[in-house]
Amino acid sequence: MKALLELKRLALLAPEAVLCGPSYAQFFFWSRNTRPLDAETTWQQFTQPQNPYYEWALRHYPPAPIRRLWATIYPKLRDRVKGISTHYDISNDFYKLFLDQDYAFYTCGDFLDPDDSLEMAQKHKADFILNLIAPRPGDRILDLGCGWGAMLKRIYQYTGDRENLWGYTLSVEQKRFIDETYGFNVEIKDVVTADYAPASWDKIYSIGCMEHVPKDQLLPLAQKLAAAIKPTGHLVHHFFCQMTPSPPAKMLAGGADVFPGIELATWQQHVDTFEKAGLRVAHHSIHDYRPTIKAWYDRLAAHQTEAIQLVGVRTYNRYLCYLAEAWRLFDDRDLLLMRFVLTRQDAPTPWLSALYRAESRESPVEAPAAVLQAV
Ligand SMILES: C[S@@+](CC[C@H](N)C(=O)[O-])C[C@H]1O[C@@H](n2cnc3c(N)ncnc32)[C@H](O)[C@@H]1O
């Protein structure tokens, strides 16, 4: 059986390289290995530059118009909702092996110092986003794509208000985990098709969920969200995006095998979409995903035996390859991680980051008198 699988792996290498590109073929050739991959060799293979010709082909073949066509057709062949389950419902215990122990965030943390642990980085990120959400007890708050309840937990720790906190996810395993661990209000609901009562939420946030929303559904969703927040409320949107309209060649295998049906927009498309929907970007920041991905990779590799017992060799190998490939995509700046605060264009007062509040607005440096004199 193993010999047959190995033969198939070899036989598919050349046709997949020609049809879908060498990065696609490389991803499958490695991840279909019937033996567990060696973590160090795999990391080197996917993250370190190869010879310049092969490197060029890895990034640029198939050509951009074909990649765009692929990105348009492929998601239509896959059931988007099933795709979420395929990725998130494989095993809560498997994700526990490599996500941070305190919150189980499955999104980019903030390493403020190279020596930070994954737990510290995810706490920094949680606090950064907490500042953006600025929750108050009594605020009605909705988490779109709430994962294993990480940010709900952080908000609850801060406000102590459970009643008004809600989360939507499409993963039954995530909901089961949250029900058993925290008892937060979480519903299995598709954020794309859900109805949102007008002006019913003070804060709505999404941390790493919009990547799963089809591009042609972004505007209708943004319009629903713009109507759903109160004029005094705001949205927090943490997402990664591609830098060009065509998907990077190295994304194709991930879209086929890891996140079935994923469809990324560019950051310009995000800004245009939200502005068209009646929102304004009141804050934006860029964050480095690479240290988080590397920390997940190292933890997964360190738990190879348990991981294989839980999900099998093929899935273990697939996650090693996808994490290493994702690191390289961010390193090459083919992908970018951003956070936005979005307010309604008819908001009565502009949203102000805590950094600009009156108490912190005094300049620590005396401005030179000449600059202050009227011309
Ligand atoms: C990358 S995880 C992020 C989870 C969490 N926000 C975090 O920071 O750890 C993406 C989440 O979005 C959810 N999701 C994706 N598409 C969705 C949809 N259309 N409706 C509801 N949830 C969705 C998934 O179930 C998953 O919980």
According to the 3-state scheme, what is the secondary structure of the chain? CHHHHHHHHHHHHHHHHHHHCHHHHHHHHHHCCCCCCCHHHHHHHHHCCCCHHHHHHHHHCCCHHHHHHHHHHHHHHCCHHHHHHHHHCCCHHHHHHHCCCCCCCCCCCCCCCCCCCHHHHHHHHHHHHHHHHCCCCCCCEEEECCCCCHHHHHHHHHHCCCCCEEEEECCHHHHHHHHHHCCCEEEECCCCCCCCCCCCEEEEEEECCHHHCCHHHHHHHHHHHHHHEEEEEEEEEEEEEECCCCCCHHHHHHHHHCCCCCCCCEHHHHHHHHHHCCEEEEEEEEECCHHHHHHHHHHHHHCHHHHHHHHHHHHHHHHHHHHHHHHHHHHCCCEEEEEEEEEECCCCCCCCCHHHCHHHCCCCCCCCHHHHCCC
Task: For residue 174, report the distance from its CA to the centre of ligand 1, in Å.
Answer: 9
Q: 151 or 363: which carries more pLDDT confidence?
A: 151
- Reported as a pLDDT band with limits 50, 70 and 90, residue 375 is very low
Ligand 1 pocket mutation pick from 195, 209, 216 by most atoms within 8 angstroms of CB: 209
- Please compute Rg for the chain using Cα positions: 22
Task: For residue 209, report the distance from its CA to the centre of ligand 1, in Å.
Answer: 4
Q: Which atom of ligand 1 is nearest to the CA of 190?
A: 20
| CA–CA gap between residue 165 and residue 167 (Å, rounded) | 7
pLDDT surpasses 60 at 372:
no
Q: Which burial class, exposed, middle or buried, applies to 262 when counting CB atoms under 10 A from its CB (0-12, 13-18, 19+)?
A: buried
Provide the residue range defining the domain that includes 44. Answer: 2-347
pLDDT surpasses 70 at 327:
yes
Ligand 1 pocket mutation pick from 212, 293, 323 by most atoms within 8 angstroms of CB: 212
Task: For residue 168, report the distance from its CA to the centre of ligand 1, in Å.
Answer: 8
Nearest CA to ligand 1 atom 10: 209
Task: For residue 81, report the distance from its CA to the centre of ligand 1, in Å.
Answer: 11
Q: For residue 375, is it within any domain?
A: no
First to last CA, the chain: 83
Backbone angles phi, psi at 242, to 5 degrees: -95, 160
Nearest CA to ligand 1 atom 14: 145
Task: For residue 68, report the distance from its CA to the centre of ligand 1, in Å.
Answer: 24
Nearest CA to ligand 1 atom 12: 145
Q: For residue 325, is it within any domain?
A: yes
| CA–CA gap between residue 360 and residue 182 (Å, rounded) | 36
Task: For residue 213, report the distance from its CA to the centre of ligand 1, in Å.
Answer: 10
Q: For residue 121, is it within any domain?
A: yes
For residue 118, the Cα-to-chain-centroid distance in whole angstroms is 16
Q: For residue 116, is it within any domain?
A: yes
Q: Which atom of ligand 1 is nearest to the CA of 81?
A: 19
Task: For residue 342, report the distance from its CA to the centre of ligand 1, in Å.
Answer: 19
pTM over 0.85: yes
| CA–CA gap between residue 178 and residue 190 (Å, rounded) | 17
- CB under 6 Å to ligand 1: residues? 84, 88, 105-107, 145-147, 150, 168-171, 174, 190-192, 207-209, 212
Q: Which atom of ligand 1 is nearest to the CA of 80?
A: 19
Convert the pLDDT of each residue in 222-246 to its tens digit.
Answer: 999 999 999 999 999 999 999 999 9
In the chain, what percentage of residues exceed pLDDT 90?
Answer: 81
Look up the CATH number of the domain holding residue 124.
Answer: 3.40.50.150
**Which residue in 48, 52, 39, 78 sits closest to 258, CA to CA?**
78
Nearest CA to ligand 1 atom 5: 147
Q: For residue 115, is it within any domain?
A: yes
- What average pLDDT is seen over the chain? 93
Domains in the chain, number = 1
Mean pLDDT, residues 86-110 taken together: 97
Task: For residue 206, report the distance from its CA to the centre of ligand 1, in Å.
Answer: 8
Mean pLDDT, residues 85-90 taken together: 94
Q: For residue 103, is it within any domain?
A: yes
Q: For residue 356, is it within any domain?
A: no
Q: For residue 323, is it within any domain?
A: yes
pLDDT surpasses 90 at 300:
yes
